[in-house]
Structure 1
Amino acid sequence: MHILALSGSTRRASTNTALLNALSAVAPEGMKITICDGLGQLPIFSPDLEGPDRPKAVSDFIAQIKAADGVIIASPEYVRALPGGLKNALDWLVSGEELIGKPIALAHASHRGEDMLTDLRRVLSTLSTGFAADIFLRVPVMKSSPEDIHALVTHPDTAQDARAFLIRFSEWAHSLAPSR
């Protein structure tokens, strides 16, 4: 199973990206998690750029979504809302079919951020019938280094919860497979 992981942060030392990287280290056998690192290169969404005028960065992003068996998103909250880059990336997927029915779950690297999570859940439930709002992992690691996050997530106590999250997501994705 191939999972595409989207971080709502483009910061080099992002806690959300570090969480997604650490999840790949505890993924169950048969699951590969790939971090999508191109959200910062996407131009601002415009319907005028869809179709034959679509920029290569957008085509590459859409191809990654299409090729994935599922998507896990981890995002910070910016000014009590979705980061612009993540919302822009999701906007590029609105008119296509790549995300419709695609299994999606959320991980979160903070003890706060409920406003953003509410917004993100609303957007994702609009975009995909495969969004599993109840499959959620919170690992409060805000302001930790990527190395510390990796150590925490791979520690046996946390790794058990992280792996359970990934297994539950895998089961959800498999249950949707016949309808996709």
Structure 2
Amino acid sequence: MQAASQSRIKLLAISGSLRQTSSNTTLLRAVRLLTPEDVVVDIYAGLNQLPHFNPELEDAECAAVADYCNQLQQADGLIISSPEYAHGVPGVLKNALDWVVGSGELVGKPVALLNASPRATHALASLHETLTVMMAKIVEEASITIPLMGTKLDPAEIAAHPDFSAVLQIALTKLVQAIDSNK
């Protein structure tokens, strides 16, 4: 039993939105429902607890930052789904990324970028640029847009939707393949 759990691929999913009813968070919950048996998806819930980034505090003890960094280190790959606010990445997500610029948790880490709105192109481009500078390995084949705007679908409905589930499963497969080739 122990060996099986060690061989599982662990993905950390981060929503760029703090709203409980966010379409981006809902999309990540749907991904979790579609995940194959050998993959586990944990949705990061501490975005709102990270303090404002201050380079002078990087070496200070902060439980929220330490937990976040630990979760990133333990993950084999990342899934980020983010809204767009005023043509940019939400401040809380950018803040989270700023906390790990210098520590290297994302260097070489396979990342899939999900988008719940086809109109959120500026934030997606900005996020892509930030992650590239941080040397994350963006898996283009796993980075997709699922047009959820106005659908009000819950995670189970997204997972059951024939078109959405098919695209999400392909994205998951591509991310897992990138992780396997990264090992």
Q: TM-score, normalised by structure 2?
A: 0.90
Deviation of the 1:146 alpha carbon: 5.4
Relative contact order: is structure 1 or structure 2 higher (C-alpha 8 Å, sep ≥ 6)? 1
- Contact map agreement 2:27 2:158 (CA 8 A) in 1: no
How many residues matched? Answer: 175
Runs of 4+ in 1 over 6 A off after TM superposition: none
Question: Which of 16, 19, 24 is residue 16 of structure 1 equivalent to?
Answer: 24
Residues 176, 167 of structure 1: CA spacing in aligned structure 2 closer, same or farther, 3 A cutoff?
A: same
Partner Cα separation in structure 2 for residue 5 and residue 20 of structure 1? 7
Q: Percent identity?
A: 38
Which runs of no fewer than 5 residues in structure 2 stay unpaired? 1-8
Match of 1:63 in 2: 70
- Contact map agreement 1:100 1:128 (CA 8 A) in 2: yes
Question: Which of 77, 86, 89 is residue 84 of structure 2 equivalent to?
Answer: 77
- Contact map agreement 1:13 1:146 (CA 8 A) in 2: no
The Cα RMSD (Å) is: 1.4
Match of 1:114 in 2: 121
Correspondence 1:87 to 2:94: yes
Partner Cα separation in structure 2 for residue 121 and residue 152 of structure 1? 25
Correspondence 1:172 to 2:161: no
Match of 1:3 in 2: 11
Residues 98, 77 of structure 1: CA spacing in aligned structure 2 closer, same or farther, 3 A cutoff?
A: same
Deviation of the 1:145 alpha carbon: 3.3
Partner Cα separation in structure 2 for residue 143 and residue 85 of structure 1? 24
Partner Cα separation in structure 1 for residue 31 and residue 117 of structure 2? 15
Match of 2:157 in 1: 151
Match of 1:105 in 2: 112
Correspondence 1:31 to 2:39: yes
